[in-house]
Amino acid sequence: MDGSPIDWEALAGAAEAARARAYAPYSGFAVGAAILFEDGAITQGANVENASYGLGVCAERNAVAAGVLGGHGRPRAVLIFTSAGHPVPPCGACRQVLAEFAGPELPVQSRTAAGARRMHRLAELLPEAFGPEWLGR
């Protein structure tokens, strides 16, 4: 894995641009995410809602899927960008997907349009994540 410093400003710019393209007509809660992968690629994702609410997909999972499709390897960092009044961490489903592809030490930064920031490690957000080791394989 690349040990170079994480360019959080580049991730913030990519996540903010993704949020601008979110499709959130039902909740009005647009989210953008950007993920830095071990090969240096940055993928973006935005939440995409659906009139059948359960079929919506979060920004973070869309960014992970883009990285998988691009063959970029493991995520090194994720940034979530919203216009909420406070930094918003990933939802439970996104935490589980991030755990599958990145592992517990993944740095997760949440930012708001007003400039508020919060940093976590994935293990803090999802202790004892479910993974292949729980399947007895």
Q: CA-CA distance, 136 to 126, in Å (whole number)? A: 20
* Catalytic one of 16, 60, 105, 124: 60
Q: CA-CA distance, 46 to 58, in Å (whole number)? A: 7
Please return the burial class of 128, using the count of CB atoms within 10 Å of its CB with bins 0-12, 13-18 and 19+: exposed
**Strands 32-37 and 42-46, how do they pair?**
antiparallel
- Look up 60 and say whether it is catalytic: yes
β partners of residue 23: 48
Report the catalytic residues: 60
